[in-house]
């Protein structure tokens, strides 16, 4: 059963819930910029859930943590596969240029002459 409170009380409730999160992030922001690994100390999913809860975001619209984790893993895997494909294409393009005859005036050509 929803609790009906006035607009001022709602605003105060939100401010009290969000202020510690927002001020902490504001202070920590420069540290995160300087030391990105510090972001790993924050439980991102839980922090976002706290923010949503303070804003009365419908909890039914938040994916369960395990479902979210799986989607993150799937996205990372797809991105890695795409990067690998792009790298393979670039390597294939480069190998065409490298597989041709050696220019006799190039460093490699002069090295061949010295060895022969």
Q: How many residues does the chain have?
A: 116
pLDDT digits (tens, 9 = 90+) for 26-57: 999 999 999 999 999 999 999 999 999 999 99
Structure tokens at 75: 């996205």
Q: Say what the pTM is.
A: 0.62
pLDDT digits (tens, 9 = 90+) for 65-116: 999 999 999 999 999 999 998 888 888 777 766 666 666 777 666 666 666 6
Structure tokens at 94: 């480069």
CA 87 to chain centroid, in Å, comes to: 20
Structure tokens at 104: 């006799």
Q: CB–CB of 51/45 below 8 Å?
A: no
């Amino acid at each position: 059963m929803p609790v009906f409170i006035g607009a001022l009380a709602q605003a105060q409730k939100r401010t009290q819930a969000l202020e510690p999160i927002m001020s902490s992030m504001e202070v920590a922001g420069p540290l995160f910029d300087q030391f990105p690994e510090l972001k790993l100390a924050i439980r991102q999913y839980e922090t976002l859930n706290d923010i949503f809860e303070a804003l009365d975001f419908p909890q039914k619209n938040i994916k369960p943590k395990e479902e979210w984790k799986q989607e993150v893993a799937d996205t990372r895997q797809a991105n890695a596969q795409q990067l690998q494909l792009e790298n393979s294409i670039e390597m294939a393009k480069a190998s065409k240029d490298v597989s041709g005859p050696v220019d006799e005036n190039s460093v490699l050509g002069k090295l061949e002459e010295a060895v022969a």
